[in-house]
Structure 1
Amino acid sequence: MTAPKTSPRLEIRDLVRSFDGKRVVDNVSLSIAPGQVTCLLGPSGCGKSTTLRMIAGVEMQDSGTIHVDGALICDTVFRVPPERRSIGLMFQDFALFPHLSVGENVAFGLKGAGTDRKARAHTLLDRVGLAHFIDEFPHQLSGGEQQRVALARALAPSPRIMLMDEPFSGLDNRLRDGIRDETLDLLKEEGAGVLLVTHEPEEAMRMADEIALMRAGRIVQRGAPYTIYNAPADRDAMAFFSDINIVRATARGALADTPFGPFLAPGVADGTELEIVFRPQHVGIDFDRGGSGPLPTERAGTPARGIVERARFMGSESLIEFRMDHDGQMLKATVPNVFLPEKGRPLWLTVRRDRCFIFPREGDNPSRTVS
């Protein structure tokens, strides 16, 4: 029976996997459409690779189901073998066969006559710009070239799903961006549903249509890269993507009073300990005028004075660290290009109200954008 067109290419429902009594994957659910790239993002040890292995069929779940194009391929009773799941795999070590030529590596998993297999291998190698290496061996290729051969080999059987586990981590930084873009273009052309595992936020932002942020075995937030970055579920989600500054406050009368002025905290009970969280790039810097700073504004709030502790040029921006007058707290600010004020210089800081979030210091209450 043909699956309906609306069926996701891959759907996993409530996957659970435990080791030694500890849940390393805890009720994980995801769906991926044809041609969609979803990134499973999180720190090492959060359960990303275990989830991938269960989908591939090399690890059995304790509970939950896995579906491809609407058809069940695995639960705790029924199990389609890994080789019949139409799933391609790519790992960081490429795992090319050293005794086979580049063309033979790509054709390895293909069925049919030798001429058909070689033609398919040549077509894919041509698409990754390596057709002229078809008779060479893997050790004669660079790391980036080996990665592209591994991609061609994984795509050769036309899998419906591509699973990628940190596939670019072994590449030189100078090569990564170009190879990521080439890989993404080819995957989109093939129409496979892609699940990419990484611990690098930049890679997830660059490649994914959707990011699933994973922590301690659970998916804590899902959404488009823009949404995940600009509407974080909690402080840890925000901190995973960039440096953050934290100013602590206590709710009083639906307000949180800080050295940067009051922040609105509607619906928060009086006495609740709060954290006002913002990124360094959303900190404004102004000059000290004989002990005075700029006037407060609705957008930037009240300025607070800090003393420059250190300043460093980072290439495209400068990072300045301040020790704040009001409590000695360290805050960071970044500005484009070169700005390197000397240590000990007083400057005034403001914070973009529309780029701040307020979180309870403890608990799992949702975040609020504050003004």
Structure 2
Amino acid sequence: MEIRNLTRSYDGRRVVDDVSLSILPGQVTCLLGPSGCGKSTTLRIIAGVEMQDSGEIWVDGKLVCDTVFRVPPERRGIGLMFQDFALFPHLSVADNVGFGLKGSREQKRARAEELLRKVDLLRHIDAFPHELSGGEQQRVALARALAPEPAIMLMDEPFSGLDNRLRDGIRDETLRLLKDENTAVLLVTHEPEEAMRMADEIALMRRGRIVQQGAPYNVYTRPADRAAVSFFSDVNVLKARVDGALAETAFGQFLAPGIADHTEVDIVFRPQHVRIDFDRGGSGPLPTPSDGVAARGVVERARFLGQESLVEFRMDFDGGVLKATVPGVFLPKAGKAMWLTVRRDRCFVFPAQAG
């Protein structure tokens, strides 16, 4: 599927702004962004339940929709999965899966059995939706969406209603089945963890536009701007000014290539890339090329979060708070002085944001 330059406006406000995407068979692309950024509207346009103001949609090299020509939604070969599953309460699981299929009742039953076996629900084939758990209903909805063998699957926050204990397993099972069917998938989500877990490619969306697109590793480790870093995790930000392609801070100098002298910059880094060292009679570790200069801070609060500990420091150099995470249990007492360094290869330098 190829989406070219889609736009859509409401009351003069552009909610989808020049969006372009390509998705190959067997590929999972996540349209990721905060609520209200336009990702669900983009999905509805692709599905054919809403019209774009401009742009085109192509499937297998054939035009499906522009502002003049439009293939009806039911003829696009596109499957849909929504947050609420939308199962028919008066139909059995078999009839839900077979709904909309062509052929005899026996043929529909056979296709339902095939898919329900794959999602481990064959034993519930004659049950009704209200007799199933939320996770089981989600798997029935997936089987129903796959029953017509769509080339493309559109999924709008399909796992958000599930219990956290079930979500990871059902996501993995769904991904396996979609890969087995060689389906091109466009998944809409506002959860970075879900996108990182499921996607072959992430399209990060903000205010109607795709601001960055690529493999999850690249989007995470080579963010386009400060907001892209902070969307995936907590961040620390240092303020500095560039002079001779260097930004001077209490942690030492940071490279700022390509940024003009005298430009105010934000140096952004994640809490897991802060190294903590103990105070040695009022001094910290010696400077190194990889970690720079150590800066002193005092523990304000430490919390154990399960797999890691979060420690917040009040820094001597500016009185600001800096966060660090440590694997396992590390709970220094409030008021304890410690020294912090920042990994240079995990820092991002961007022109400062207004305000």
Query: What range describes the TM-score normalised by the shorter chain of this pair?
Result: over 0.9
1:304-319 aligned at under 5 Å gives the runs 304-319=295-310
2:219 to 215, 228, 231: 228
Contact persistence 2:8–2:52 (CA under 8 A): yes
Superposed displacement of residue 269, structure 1: 1.8
**SS in structure 2 of the partner of residue 184 of structure 1:** helix
Structure 2: which amino acid aligns with 1:98? P
Superposed displacement of residue 270, structure 1: 1.7
1:44-63 aligned at under 5 Å gives the runs 44-63=35-54
**SS in structure 1 of the partner of residue 87 of structure 2:** coil
Partners of 2:218 and 2:33 lie apart in 1 by 16
Partners of 2:257 and 2:47 lie apart in 1 by 46
Match of 1:367 in 2: none
Structure 1: which amino acid aligns with 2:119? V
- Percent identity reads 76
Structure 2: which amino acid aligns with 1:161? I
- 1:204-262 per-residue CA deviation (whole Å, 9 max, x = no partner) reads 00000000000000000000000000000000000000000000000112210000001
Superposed displacement of residue 109, structure 1: 1.4
Superposed displacement of residue 290, structure 1: 1.1
**SS in structure 2 of the partner of residue 175 of structure 1:** helix
Match of 2:90 in 1: 99
Match of 1:4 in 2: none
Q: How many residues align?
A: 354
**SS in structure 2 of the partner of residue 340 of structure 1:** coil
**SS in structure 1 of the partner of residue 317 of structure 2:** coil
2:124 to 106, 126, 133: 133
**SS in structure 2 of the partner of residue 159 of structure 1:** coil
Partners of 1:121 and 1:188 lie apart in 2 by 19
2:163 to 155, 161, 172: 172
- 1:29-64 per-residue CA deviation (whole Å, 9 max, x = no partner) reads 000000000000000000000000000000000000
Superposed displacement of residue 285, structure 1: 0.3
Partners of 1:103 and 1:254 lie apart in 2 by 65
**SS in structure 1 of the partner of residue 341 of structure 2:** strand
**SS in structure 2 of the partner of residue 229 of structure 1:** helix
Partners of 2:135 and 2:342 lie apart in 1 by 42
Match of 2:352 in 1: 361
Partners of 2:204 and 2:277 lie apart in 1 by 36
Match of 1:37 in 2: 28
Structure 1: which amino acid aligns with 2:227? D
Structure 1: which amino acid aligns with 2:316? D
Superposed displacement of residue 267, structure 1: 2.9
Superposed displacement of residue 347, structure 1: 0.2
Match of 1:298 in 2: 289
- Name stretches of at least 5 consecutive residues in structure 2 with no aligned partner: none
Runs of 4+ aligned structure 1 residues displaced above 2 Å come to none
1:327 to 301, 311, 318: 318
Partners of 2:105 and 2:256 lie apart in 1 by 69
Match of 2:153 in 1: 162
Partners of 1:301 and 1:360 lie apart in 2 by 21
Structure 1: which amino acid aligns with 2:117? D
Superposed displacement of residue 265, structure 1: 1.6
Match of 1:205 in 2: 196
- Name stretches of at least 5 consecutive residues in structure 1 with no aligned partner: 1-9, 364-371
Structure 1: which amino acid aligns with 2:234? D
**SS in structure 1 of the partner of residue 239 of structure 2:** strand
Match of 1:5 in 2: none
Match of 1:24 in 2: 15
1:255 equivalent in alignment to 2:246: yes
Structure 1: which amino acid aligns with 2:66? D
Contact persistence 2:266–2:353 (CA under 8 A): no
Partners of 2:260 and 2:155 lie apart in 1 by 45
Contact persistence 2:6–2:20 (CA under 8 A): yes
2:72 to 48, 61, 81: 81
Match of 1:3 in 2: none
Superposed displacement of residue 266, structure 1: 2.5
Superposed displacement of residue 362, structure 1: 3.8
RMSD across aligned C-alpha pairs, in angstroms? 0.7
- 1:116-173 per-residue CA deviation (whole Å, 9 max, x = no partner) reads 1100001000100000101000000000000000000000000010000000000000
Structure 1: which amino acid aligns with 2:183? A
Structure 1: which amino acid aligns with 2:329? V
Structure 2: which amino acid aligns with 1:303? A
Match of 1:6 in 2: none
Partners of 2:254 and 2:221 lie apart in 1 by 18
Superposed displacement of residue 268, structure 1: 2.0
**SS in structure 1 of the partner of residue 68 of structure 2:** coil
**SS in structure 1 of the partner of residue 145 of structure 2:** helix
1:339 equivalent in alignment to 2:321: no
